[in-house]
Structure 1
Amino acid sequence: MSGLVTGDAVVLGLHPARLPSRALAVVIDLVVVWTAYLLVSVGLAVATAALDEAAVMAVSIATFLLVLVGGPIVVETLSHGRSLGKMACGLRVVRDDGGPIRFRHALVRGAMSVVEILLSFGVIACIASLVSERGRRVGDVFAGTLVVRERVPVQRGSLAVPPPPFWLVGRFRELDLSGVPDGLWLAIRQYLTRMGQLDAGVSWSMAHRLADDLVARTGAPAPHGVPPAAYLAAVLNERQARDARRAFAAARAQGGTAAPGGGHDAGAARASQARPSEGGSGAGPGATPVAPAPDPAPAAPIAPAEAGTTATPSGATGFAPPA
């Protein structure tokens, strides 16, 4: 992987293309370009049969430059670095900073390819690609470009935090995690997601260092005989479980405070509906007075715990309990 650094100090994980794949892409491009050149040359030879020798030579040179040199330049410019051969091999031409190429980059590459590939039969390009650390030919050096691989095998689940061993789940419920900074949590998460891609010795040393930092922050020693990576995974799982419990508790508390108010409003509405009937009973003369109906008993207040259970569906907070 190439460690390219952008202007924002961001390391790009680009995979430079090596000589075999680049050579195959060039061969495919040359077959297509030479086929087009021969077809155009035959057509122009028939069309210019009545011209003199100088005119025919001028047309031949113009055809050579336009088809064999100008054609690849136009294709790479319009496709942002993907010719037919590069598309077949999963390659792309990009700038040194990882951005798409423009016309000036394609022009320099195409002009240098006349010497590197056409006139020297690819010998100069092969030597330069073998010597370069990132497999660049002379045209790439002058243009400030790089040929990278687009189709890179992806490891499924490589960014998922591995679960801790079952015999460590819930073992750190009494551990004080308030003194652990967010930066250390982020470092632990990044290590756990990528420890399978590291060398065994490097992975072991990083796990030891992170475990020592975590022990220093919590003030409790790690259990004896527990591997550092398993210890980190178990503590991180405990932190996620605590966050989930706090989120569910906050959701239940919010649901519990809203429900009793609703019951009181409902009781007041029933009482207000009952009061107009009292006035209506004595409106006409000679009407028999009727005793006012007693107000209905207010609804019993709902307990906060019951309100949270009925009003707030599970998962409404967007958090999922730990596996």
Structure 2
Amino acid sequence: MASSSTPGPAVTVVQMAADETLTGEAVALDVQPIGFFLRAVGALIDMLVGVVLLIAGALLLGTMVANAALPMSAIGIASITLLVLVMVVLPTAVETLSRGRSLGRLAVGARIVRTDGGAAGFRQAVIRALVGVLELWFTFGAIAAVVGIFTPRAQRLGDLLAGTASERTRTKPLPPAAPGVPPILAEWARIADVSRLPDRLAARVSQFVRTADALDPAARVRVAASLAEAVSPFVSPLPATDPETFVRAVSGARRDREYRALMGENRRAAALTERA
């Protein structure tokens, strides 16, 4: 007796790099993890703040014992309470209330987030603080350093257990947008062929267009003429204009061409997804 089988649902495989942040909807976020060195500096600052608080608390306890405000029998309990407050309670409260930040992380421009990109909460902060007692305080950061070296996002043991990572909060500003095709050559740009322009030469042209206004006038004319001479063999037809306007038009036409090609690829990918 023949048996029929019903094909199962299609399975979508999502590939991601080890240092990418993937949301629950399988969307890769453009989030920059902070490097090992900066993260170590931030942790060191936080630990130094903790040491200062421990010293201040110890001095306060000593003063209370000297003034008979605290009996000697309670010094042990008070010391343990001080350690718990500084090593666990305070880091948990600061991290929860500041949504993943601390004094050290503010200094290096970082914050703690979940590995799916969401904000870390109280549960993650408690786990990180408890594990931090071992890997940061009891071993002077040795365990955290060893684990951080071998993880893609410089995660320490507490991060791995809590499902968190440290991301950058300070990123470099985007460069200004390159100027488009000069209006005088707008008609030429519609028929111009700039596809043969080599990528390295195109990068030089784009760099000149972005920085031309800051150049010395004599140097600006000289560089524009040199680039126009280098670009001419790869452009057809050649417009009748000055070298700088020509170079600017080539840069704008190539950028528009690449943008149109990218949009076309996106439309084709969307069409294939809808058919699937």
Q: TM-score range by the shorter chain?
A: 0.5 to 0.7
The whole-number CA distance in structure 1 between the counterparts of 2:259 and 2:123 is 52
Instruction: State which drifts further: 111-120 or 6-15.
Output: 6-15
Q: Does structure 1 residue 104 correspond to structure 2 residue 127?
A: no
Q: Which residue does the alignment assign to 1:4?
A: 21
Q: Which residue does the alignment assign to 2:164?
A: 145
Name the count of aligned residue pairs. Answer: 192
Q: Which residue does the alignment assign to 1:40?
A: 57
Q: Which has the larger radius of gyration?
A: 1
Q: TM-score, normalised by structure 2?
A: 0.60
Q: TM-score, normalised by structure 1?
A: 0.52
Q: Does structure 1 residue 86 correspond to structure 2 residue 105?
A: yes
Q: Which gives a bigger RCO, structure 1 or 2 (Cα 8 Å, sep 6+)?
A: 2
Output the amino acid matched with 2:40.
A
Output the amino acid matched with 2:35.
R
CA shift digits 1:57-78 (9 cap, x unpaired): 1111111111222111111111
Contact 2:101 2:111 in 1 (8 A): yes
Contact 2:181 2:252 in 1 (8 A): yes
Q: Which residue does the alignment assign to 2:221?
A: none
Q: Which residue does the alignment assign to 1:226?
A: 235
Q: Secondary structure at the match of 1:169?
A: helix
Q: Does structure 1 residue 129 correspond to structure 2 residue 148?
A: yes
Name which of 90, 109, 113 aligns with 2:132. Answer: 113
Q: Which residue does the alignment assign to 2:32?
A: 15
Q: Mind listing any 5+ residue stretches in structure 1 that lack a counterpart?
A: 176-194, 197-223, 239-323
Q: Secondary structure at the match of 2:166?
A: strand
Contact 2:20 2:31 in 1 (8 A): yes
Q: Secondary structure at the match of 1:14?
A: coil
The whole-number CA distance in structure 1 between the counterparts of 2:110 and 2:39 is 8
Q: CA deviation at 1:147?
A: 0.6
After superposition, where does 1:1-323 map in structure 2 within 5 Å? 2-49=19-66, 50=68, 53-157=72-176, 160=177, 162-164=179-181, 169-171=186-188, 225-226=234-235, 232-233=254-255
Q: Which residue does the alignment assign to 1:264?
A: none
Q: Secondary structure at the match of 2:234?
A: coil
The whole-number CA distance in structure 1 between the counterparts of 2:43 and 2:259 is 51
Q: CA deviation at 1:164?
A: 3.8
The percentage of counterpart residues that share the same residue type is 34
CA shift digits 1:169-196 (9 cap, x unpaired): 3126589xxxxxxxxxxxxxxxxxxx96
Q: Secondary structure at the match of 2:30?
A: strand
Q: CA deviation at 1:166?
A: 7.9
Contact 1:37 1:67 in 2 (8 A): yes
Instruction: State which drifts further: 40-49 or 97-106.
Output: 40-49
